[in-house]
Amino acid sequence: MIDQIKTKAKELLKTKKVDIVIGYKKASDRIGAIPAFIDKEGDIDKLIWDGYCVYNLSNYLKDFPGKKIGIVTKGCDAKSMTVLLQENQLKREDIFIIGIECSGIVDEKRKGGDIAYDERCKGCKPATPPIYDVLIKEEEKKQAPRLEQDPYESVRKLETKSIEEKFKFWQDEFSRCIRCYACRQICPLCYCPRCVAEQTQPAWFSKAVSVEGNFSWNVNRAMHLAGRCIDCGECERACPVGIPLRDINKKIEKDVKELFSYEAGVDTEQKPLFSSFDKNDPEDFIK
Amino acid sequence: MSEWEPKIVGFLCNWCSYAGADLAGTSRLEYPPNIRIIRLPCSGRVNPLFILKCLSNGADGVLISGCHIGDCHYSEGNFYARRRFAVLKKLLEYLGIDPRRFQMSWVSASEGDKWARLVTELVEEIKQAGPNKDFVRKND
Ligand code: SF4
Ligand code: SF4
Ligand code: SF4
Ligand code: FES
C-alpha cells in the first residue's frame, strides 16, 4: 500500500502535476505519525501509511494558496474536503486526491499498546473516500467493526438525563476548558481568518476562562460546525483536557439528520445547511 | 420569590413582530412589562451569539419573533432563522439550558392580541423556570 502511495507521489511531483504532496511521516517518538509536506522527489521515502495516520490532512490545504497539491486522504478527510469544496474554499482542479481505502485508525491514547480502533472509526460509513482521483486499496481487510454499533449511543444516553444533570455534566466538562483553541486549530472547517473568539468589537463572550466564556465558546464552536462537521474527531483528539467534543458534534449531526435529512460532506453540489432551507422545515417549536 | 421579576430580551423583526407589539401598545392591550425589545430588520438577522450573550449575561429568557412563513419582508429571512434556531434550541437543551428560556414565535403586524397573549404566557413560563443563575460571571 505504501509503495503505491510513494509511486503515485513520485509521478505527481515528477510530471509537475502537483507542487507538493501532503502525507504522513513518522513522528520523533518513532510510533506516531505526523503530517509530511513533500516537495522534492528525494523526500518521498519519508512517507508512511499505518494506523497512526490520524491527522485530518485537509486542514493544511489552505496553507498553500496558489499551489497544486497532492494529498493522501482517508474517508473522513475526504468528507471535509467535500465541505471545503461546497464552501468554495478549494478548487477541485488544484488538488489531486490520493484516496485511501481506510481500515480504521488506532486509538492514540493506547499508543504502542494493543491495536484498538478509535471511537470515531466505529460507524464510519465511507471508509472509502467519497471523492478521489486515485484509490489505493487496503490489502487485508482488517476493518474496524462498522455500522453494527449505534453511532449516537452516547448522545442518546446524555439526552435521557434531566436538564439539571445535563447542565452539571457539561459544566464539569467545560470547567476544564483552558481556551487554548486547539479544537479550532486542528479542525479543517474552522478556517476563518479571524475567529469570533478573538473578536473584540464586539466581544461576544469573555476570553477569560470563565463559566459563561467557556460555555459560549463551546456552543459557538459547535454551532459554527453545524451541518459541516464530518466527525473526523480531530477536535476531541486535540483537546488537551479531554472534553468530549464529539458528543456535542454528534448531537448536532443527529438532529440535523432528523430535522432536515441533511448529512455533511457527502455531496460537493449540496448547499451548506444554513445557506439553504426547505419550505417544510419543522417548526413545532415556534409559537 | 414574589419580588423577583424575570428579565426577557426580545429580538423582533421590524416589519411584522415589532409592528405587532406596537399595535398591542396602541390598542392599549395590557401585558407584563418584563420584555426588553431589540428591533432588527429581520428574524434572519439574529445570530446565535446574540442568544448566548443574553443568557450568559443573566437574561432569564430570550425570544425571537418574526413574520409568519411566507410574509418575511426579505422573502426568505425567516426560513433561514427557522433552521438555525431549531438546531440551537436542541443544542442548548442538550447542554442543560432550560428550554423555556429560549423561544421563538411568528407574530404579524396585525396580531397585537397574539403578542400580548404570547408575552403573558412567556413571562409565566419563565417565572416557573426561575431566575437564570447559570452564568453568574465569576472572573472577567
Ligand atoms: S469539528 Fe471536530 S470532528 Fe468536526 S470536522 Fe472539525 S475537527 Fe473534525
Ligand atoms: S469557531 Fe467559528 S469563527 Fe472561529 S474559526 Fe471556527 S468557524 Fe470560524
Ligand atoms: S481544545 Fe479543549 S481546552 Fe482547548 S479550547 Fe477547545 S475545548 Fe477548550
Ligand atoms: S422581515 Fe420579519 S422575519 Fe424577515
Domains and CATH numbers, chain B: 8-14+27-128 (3.40.50)
pLDDT mean over A238-263: 97
Position A108 in a domain: yes
**DSSP secondary structure, B20-76, as one string:** HHHHHHHTT----TTEEEEEES-GGG--HHHHHHHHHTT-SEEEEEEPPTT--TTSS
Are B48 and A223 spatial neighbours (Cβ–Cβ below 8 Å)?
yes
What is the helix (H) or strand (E) element at residue B104, kind and residue range?
strand B102-106
Position A191 in a domain: yes
Residues A132 and A7 in one domain: yes
| Sign of torsion over alpha carbons A251, A163, B32, B51 | negative
- With CB atoms and an 8 Å threshold, state whether B82 touches A286: yes
Cα distance between residue A61 and residue A81, in whole Å = 9
Find out whether the beta carbon of A26 lies less than 6 Å from any atom of ligand 3. Answer: no
Number of domain units in chain A: 2
For residue B22, the one-letter residue type is D
CA distance B5 to chain A (A): 22
Q: Classify the complex by whether its ipTM is higher than 0.90, answering yes or no.
A: yes
Residues A192 and A261 in one domain: yes
Residues A169 and A134 in one domain: no
Cα distance between residue A44 and residue A148, in whole Å = 38
Position A250 in a domain: yes
* N-terminal to C-terminal alpha carbon distance within chain A: 57
| Domain interval for residue A265 | 153-275
pLDDT mean over A246-260: 97
A136-182 confidence digits (pLDDT tens):
987 655 555 555 678 899 999 999 999 999 999 999 999 999 999 99
Instruction: Check whether A113 has a pLDDT greater than 90.
Output: no
Instruction: Report the predicted TM-score, pTM, of the whole model to 2 decimal places.
Output: 0.93
Residues A130 and A182 in one domain: no
Cα distance between residue A79 and residue A145, in whole Å = 20
B78-105 confidence digits (pLDDT tens):
999 999 999 999 999 999 999 999 999 9
Find out whether the beta carbon of A237 lies less than 6 Å from any atom of ligand 2. Answer: no
Residues of chain B contacting residue A159, judged by C-beta atoms under 8 Å apart: 94
Residue of B72, B106, B107 with the most ligand 4 atoms within 8 Å of its CB, for mutation: B72
Q: Look-up: residue for cell 414574589?
A: B2
Q: Which of A91, A115, A142 is the last residue of a domain?
A: A142
Q: Indicate the average pLDDT of chain A.
A: 91
Give the 3-state secondary structure of residue B90.
helix
Are B20 and B105 spatial neighbours (Cβ–Cβ below 8 Å)?
no
- pLDDT confidence bin for B139, thresholds 50/70/90: very low
Are A151 and A102 spatial neighbours (Cβ–Cβ below 8 Å)?
no
Instruction: Check whether A128 has a pLDDT greater than 60.
Output: yes
Cα distance between residue A130 and residue A82, in whole Å = 8
The pLDDT score that the predictor gives to residue A101 is 87
